[in-house]
Structure 1
Amino acid sequence: MSESKSGRRRVFAPEFKLRLVVQIVSGQRTLADLSREHQIKDSLLARWRDQFLEKAPEMFGAAPTGQERLAELEREIGRQHMELEILKKASRRLL
């Protein structure tokens, strides 16, 4: 955790955020306790917790979203297009 030069806004390391969120999710500590201890707003801790819980299924191979699947298919089409062009050039040289 560090403070910006202006002293107004603190920037928290990802490891710090994770440590607090794990304590909240596991029930080791309450959100209110951690908020008081670290002088962080409840709403910020709640946002970190919600972000963590939203992204957690991706860690275990959850199905990609529609947008992710579309990007994956576009990459595959691009790869196949390049392979086709290479094969066309190679066949022209053989003839």
Structure 2
Amino acid sequence: MSENRRYRKFGAQQKTELVLASLRGPKTITELCREQDISESLLRKWREQFLAAGAERLSGKTERSDADELRKQVSRLERALGRKTLEVEIAGELLRGWE
């Protein structure tokens, strides 16, 4: 009685093409889903993800988070450089004391 279902995998390009077709359409979501043999809820989920990602990108959140991460990395490197500079200065003072 158990039926083996095979699920198809859709790549990003295929999903994008279907979402764009559903947005610009002359075909309705129902028609597209019938042609592609997918559920309407799946296509609607892809549309929501697509539009949410676009809205996030346009708001600049991704760019800001990348810039924030770079700033944090620069701060860590500056602190490390400061510690190493201090260590070199102390070592130099100690060496001069041996003379």
TM-score in terms of structure 2 length? 0.67
Match of 1:81 in 2: 76
Q: Which has the higher contact order (CA 8 A, sep 6+)?
A: 2
Deviation for aligned residue 1:84? 1.3
Asked if residue 64 in structure 1 is aligned to residue 39 in structure 2, the reply is no
Query: Does the residue aligned with 1:10 lie in a helix, a strand or coil?
Result: coil
- Consecutive unaligned residues of structure 1, counting only runs of 5 or more, are 1-5
Note the aligned Cα RMSD (angstroms): 2.8
Identity of aligned pairs, percent? 30
Deviation for aligned residue 1:72? 6.4
More helix by share: 2
1:45-71 C-alpha deviation (Å, 9 max, x unpaired): 1111111111112333x1428xxx789
Runs of 4+ in 1 over 3 A off after TM superposition: 69-79
Q: Residues 2-41 of structure 1 correspond to what in structure 2 (within 5 A)?
A: 8-41=6-39
How many Å separate the matches in 1 of 2:69 and 2:37?
46
Query: Does the residue aligned with 2:61 lie in a helix, a strand or coil?
Result: coil
More strand by share: 1
Greater Rg by CA: 2
Q: Would you say how many aligned residue pairs link Structure 1 and Structure 2? A: 87
Letter in 2 for 1:50: E
Match of 2:87 in 1: 92
